A and B are shown apart, each in its own frame.
Chain A
């Protein structure tokens, strides 16, 4: 069965303490891999799309990378405002009209 697994479920960081979030997948054909940020009580906000192994994208303190089996969201020198739940999702090649989401990593950054 196609699955997306995110780890860790929760992460507590001190401000400035860099770390990485993991999204691993066992899918039969990857059309694209997406990262979203979700604040409590709000809809997910789009961050990145990755389409092929080796691809990297950056935005401020965030960098997303993709291999054949997993994606990482690297957070460099995080600030308290980076606290949120980070979701990854993939688009299967057999149905490009749908996203399949992981359960997310809840990140808390303390000053």
Chain B
């Protein structure tokens, strides 16, 4: 069966510090991978998605970036965090254009 992991589970970072969040998927090959952010009281906002290694589509202009160095690994990064980057970050996977399955999420607080 397929499993999706995210780490860390929680993170508190100062403004201006770098960020690296990691997501890995087990039990499937060549999945589509997604990064979402969920701010308090708001819906899930798609940030990036990837249909293959090295292929990244950005949905929202921001100071975040994403990379996919391996088939089942998706990384969300920032060089300098802003207060507005605080939120709940979710990674998801799907096979072709079917149901998306979400990971447990990372709670990021920028102070």
Contacts and interface: CB of A to CB of B under 8 A. Distances in A.
Contacts of B57: 97
A41 B43 contact: no
Given A91-B97, A96-B97, A43 B46 contact: no
Interface stretch (B66-74, B78-86, B102-110): B102-110
Given A42-B104, A43-B105, A103 B43 contact: yes
Task: Give the dominant DSSP class at B's interface.
Answer: strand
Contact size range, B: 20 to 34
B102 A43 contact: yes
Given A43-B90, A97-B51, A87 B43 contact: yes
A44 interface: yes
A98 interface: yes
Interface of A: 31, 34, 36, 41-46, 49, 87, 89, 91, 96-104
6 contacts: A43-B90, A43-B103, A43-B104, A97-B57, A99-B44, A103-B41
